Amino acid sequence: MGVAYVSNKRKITAFATAALLLSSLSLGGCATSTAGSSLMDARAEASAPPKTSAYPLVGDLPPKRTVPAMTADERLKLTKELIAARDHQTPATRRIPESELLRNSR
């Protein structure tokens, strides 16, 4: 048995033919048939995103309040209740005087 020798010219021709065949097959997948449709039709068929969401938009602020959430008397009463609860839980060595806290909360 003999060994078949192929010339360099035939190797180059075979390589070029294989490269051309592979590139045409791979690029053939990019060219799809658009029988009766266009890009504009595809956009028209796409559904629009929903307008409502469970979360508000970033710049969407709630309307300004006409009545404050708490009056000054309610705030003072709540502050005193919170101070009393804290003092009940905090040891006596770490307590801050109530007059100082009320002065800082205004």
For 43-92, the pLDDT digits (tens) are 666 666 667 777 878 888 888 889 888 999 999 999 999 999 988 887 76
Domain spans in the chain, listed from the N-terminal domain onward: 70-106
Average pLDDT over residues 26-36: 63
Q: Which two tokens stand for residue 58?
A: 């970033």
**CA separation for the pair 105, 81 (Å, rounded):** 14
Residues 58-69 pLDDT 10s: 888 888 889 888
| Residue 17, pLDDT score | 92
Q: H or E stretch including 15?
A: helix 8-28
34 pLDDT tier (thresholds 50, 70, 90): low
Task: Compute the Cα dihedral for 54, 55, 61, 66 and give only its sign.
Answer: positive
Q: Which two tokens stand for residue 35?
A: 């029988």
